[in-house]
Chains A and B, each alone.
Chain A
């Protein structure tokens, strides 16, 4: 496949490079022929999906790789129709209910019941009686949907297993957590990222200077997916690499840096107004609001005085929580910026 990220994605458990312990556990699970519900969590770009698909392949054999995309239509109780892309093989279903917004409960229920009510046809060939439903971005599931999961997970245990994939368990309700085997996939260390980068580069037939690989690994914040994309982007930009070459940073991140800088520069309502405009723009680029808050907060923390750091972080966490319970992201983002400006200004005045 075209992008290196896809092209060199390991398909089997054997080919996974890092987290060998975890891989061993997963293999054992898969070979015993039975599988509990799984809750796979870890930061993005640490290989959760890759591991899930590798496990599926281990269980069902190469048939699990024959994927096709279905477009399913679900009807909500209010008679609205939702279309959702569902990826299926003959053994499992992958879905991403967060695309359905607040109607994800319907999707989860429908899909799981559908999967559960039909038994595995080719049970004899693989020796497995169950199907697998993979739910991506499970932390984006609404409470309703998670509660809907609780019962179905138990009821249809005989026919079906659920694999939840999410970046944090904090947003998964505890009853669901307790029904699953928690599998933590940590982000790879920088060294591991470098290793993978080198391996890919070798296969592509390009040479990556070691210091450059290290820089990419650091810039990607140990996100392998991102690191590979960065490597590919950089190779298009300039090849052969020289060690000091600029690593392309996503534009939106750059933009958020500018926002943080302007908040540090001046603390007036007019400035806040300008910042609001920029925030709107970032939001319009489909960047999730929590990511925005996090990035800006980290940028701010980097630049303020030691004494202020805990306070900024505290407020960031506080508004992140509010962001979750509210609806209009902009209000909360702006509230955070306003609060920061206030803190910072007071600090500056005390300093004088």
Chain B
């Protein structure tokens, strides 16, 4: 009401007279709002241009909107789900309603107020003009920009664009958190309408009964109200139905033929709370005067109606251990686990494996929950904040997925077919992975190949052999803190580490330069191998690389020029001597370059069709020139003709 009144200035040109009228609300909601700061808008409109009413069905939201509008002197125009809700039509209507000062529908001169009912049903209709909600939002926010313009020009903005919104809009929905409404929520004034208490509702129902000349005692009305969980419409409907065949409302009506029992959907958290809370005897009495059912039946019903059985069960599983067990020998937990959680898993897996026989089994899926309630519930229930939404199962699943993919990539990289045959996920995870990691992490003291002693050299060779046979490499990457690191690829070391233990005992302790060395040596080996293969092929074909390949080659060169320049910015490269003296360093530098290339051409090699062109192309490359940039944009760039052969040495 207050919100509506805030529109007064804008619409009627009169001052906001807030307290003149009291809110005469049919349903007995009294909303006392804190006085809001005065709007600074030039039309003196409220800050939020749209009112969003939300609440469960049957509480009288629509009625409220209409009553309020009438009270405030508006003519209401309603758009609801039964109307056409294509974007363009709605837009026209909204524009028509909100921007005209013209006379209303039936010749009345009252200004109009738009009520958009059931807005959460507004589908995210895909249309070229954007969907319904965004239209509304843009409408509500339009005036910020266009307002000034309008002020300057002193005439209404052109049609098609949204002018400032000059009439109130009330939107009504059931679930304010529906994803469709997200953008709207930010611009709208939201009010949640709560169910009235049973007493309030019963009073109201009593009035209705009096008007209808129906005898009803307060107690059964209360019961009716409770049964419907505050849904006024449902109450009235069932009252009318009872009225149809008797003139008095008695307890037997309510109990007997299940009138007016709604399927109530509870949120998952509410259900979990019910499961873990043991009701006190008194509250049980109070809660269930009409139905004689026990708490567990009620619980069962709640669980059944909530639907997401799987989720509920998962939540129970993940949280039941947090409950306070008074049980010295731990037997409660054990029996619960064994008997009920496992039972659930049985039934569930049986259902999944064989959907055709699942029908009769589904019924049993709810009962383990009752068992959990019996063992775990406490009078306190869940202490707030303690209950966690179940996600660890999913997290574990994801982690497993990642691990599986890593193992698969490892197996795919295995060059020996015979070894590959033994690479199943289980066998790799259990027996191969750990030793392999140990094997590829020898101790190397220096990163300079020339300084390696005899034993170390052997170790390096061995390492290279193993790593190349599994196609493992180190790949340079940049950490978040700007450090360059070489990471193992595929990252099988990730499978090795367990979170709460110290990171892999001296596994892969190799420092950056050592890894760099290894990576380069691996590259070199690979290149040598490819070159040998090439030699063979070329020998067969007699060097049939045509002009086409040469062109392709050139293209590739150009393509890589840029990434190369970036890749070369290793910390060392700054002081790389430009002449031939720094042989190892220059090799380093080119080694990485070469790597990039093989990566690109690698896949092509694999397919026999393009094989010829790729290798032929490489052959051509021996004659082409290359450019390198150190730190792009700096003057110390290098341009130097190089032969591929030099790089292979």
Contact = CB atoms under 8 A, between A and B. Distances in A.
B345 A326 contact: yes
B330 A267 contact: yes
A318 to B, nearest CB: 9
B82 interface: no
Given A6-B418, A233-B435, A339-B334, A276 B321 contact: yes
A338 B337 contact: yes
Contacts of A345: 328-330
A349 B327 CA distance: 13
Contacts of B353: 102
Contacts of A251: 434, 496-498, 501, 504
B323 interface: yes
A9 B439 CA distance: 18
Interface centre among B329, B399, B433, B465 (most CB of A within 10 A): B329
B438 interface: yes
A98 B424 contact: yes
B476 to A, nearest CB: 24
Interface string B408-446: 000100001111111011111111111110111110000
A49 B421 contact: yes
Interface string B338-357: 10011011101100110000
B547 to A, nearest CB: 35
Contact of B459 (A9, A236, A283, A339): A236
Contacts of A268: 330
A112 B320 CA distance: 48
B434 A248 contact: yes
A328 B345 contact: yes
A87 B421 contact: yes
Interface in A310-334: 322, 325-328, 330-332, 334
A161 interface: no
Interface string A42-72: 0011000100010000000000010111000
A270 interface: yes
Nearest to A248: B438
B330 A230 contact: no
Task: Name the residue among A87, A272, A335, A349 with the largest chain B CB count within 10 angstroms.
Answer: A335
Nearest to B417: A67
Contacts of B277: none
B325 interface: yes
Nearest to A102: B353
A341 B334 contact: yes
Most chain B CB neighbours (cut-off 10 Å) among A223, A267, A338, A345: A338
Interface string A14-46: 000000000000000000000000000000110
A163 B355 CA distance: 33
Contact of A236 (B317, B329, B438, B500): B438
A291 to B, nearest CB: 6
Nearest to B412: A85
B192 interface: no
B407 interface: yes
Contacts of A223: 431
A287 B434 CA distance: 12
Given A2-B469, A328-B393, A69 B420 contact: yes
Interface residues of A, number: 77
A215 interface: no
A44 to B, nearest CB: 7
B7 interface: no
Contact of B421 (A94, A98, A255): A94
B426 A288 contact: yes
A77 interface: no
A147 interface: no
Interface string A105-135: 0000000000000000000000000000000
A284 interface: yes
A345 B333 CA distance: 12
Contacts of B349: 325-327
A229 B438 CA distance: 9
Contacts of B336: 338
Contacts of A322: 342, 346
A222 B436 CA distance: 19
Contacts of A248: 434-435, 438
Given A99-B425, A326-B345, A335-B337, A233 B431 contact: no
A273 interface: yes
A331 B426 contact: no
B429 A285 contact: yes
Given A248-B434, A287-B430, A236 B421 contact: no
Nearest to B469: A2
B431 A45 contact: yes
Given A283-B396, A287-B429, A233 B321 contact: no
Given A280-B392, A335-B338, A69 B417 contact: yes
A52 to B, nearest CB: 10
A331 B314 CA distance: 10
Nearest to B402: A284
A6 B419 contact: yes
Interface string B367-403: 0000000000000000000000000110110011001
A28 to B, nearest CB: 25
With most chain A CB atoms within 10 A of its CB, the pick from B333, B436, B442 is B333
B328 A349 contact: yes
B322 interface: yes
A335 B430 contact: no
A1 to B, nearest CB: 5
A326 B498 contact: no
A76 interface: no
B331 interface: yes
B141 interface: no
Given A286-B403, A335-B342, A232 B317 contact: no
Contact of B333 (A67, A269, A327, A332): A269
A99 B417 CA distance: 17
A3 interface: yes
B499 interface: yes
A348 to B, nearest CB: 9
Nearest to B320: A269
Contacts of A67: 417-418, 421
B474 interface: no
B342 A286 contact: no
Given A223-B431, A229-B436, A248-B434, A334 B337 contact: yes
B352 A327 contact: yes
A235 to B, nearest CB: 8
B470 interface: yes
B393 A1 contact: no
Contacts of A137: 424, 426
- Which of A232, A269, A283, A349 has most chain B Cβ within 10 Å? A269
A3 to B, nearest CB: 6
Contacts of B495: 285-286
B425 to A, nearest CB: 6
B326 to A, nearest CB: 11
Given A3-B466, A288-B430, A339-B338, A236 B439 contact: yes
Interface of B: 317, 321-323, 325, 328-331, 333-334, 336-338, 341-342, 344-346, 348-349, 352-353, 392-393, 395-396, 399-400, 403-404, 407, 411, 416-422, 424-436, 438-442, 459, 462, 465-466, 468-470, 495-501, 504
Given A1-B416, A331-B345, 12 more contacts: A67-B418, A87-B420, A225-B431, A229-B432, A229-B439, A236-B441, A269-B333, A278-B500, A280-B392, A281-B396, A285-B498, A346-B331
Interface of A: 1-3, 5-6, 9, 44-45, 49, 53, 65, 67-69, 85, 87, 94, 96, 98-99, 102, 136-137, 223, 225-226, 229-230, 232-234, 236-237, 248-252, 254-255, 258, 267-270, 272-273, 276-278, 280-288, 291, 322, 325-328, 330-332, 334-335, 338-339, 341-342, 345-346, 349
Task: Sort A-B residue pairs by CB-CB distance and give the 8 closest, nearest first.
Answer: A2-B469, A233-B438, A229-B435, A284-B399, A327-B349, A342-B334, A286-B429, A335-B337
5 contacts: A49-B421, A250-B430, A280-B395, A281-B498, A325-B346
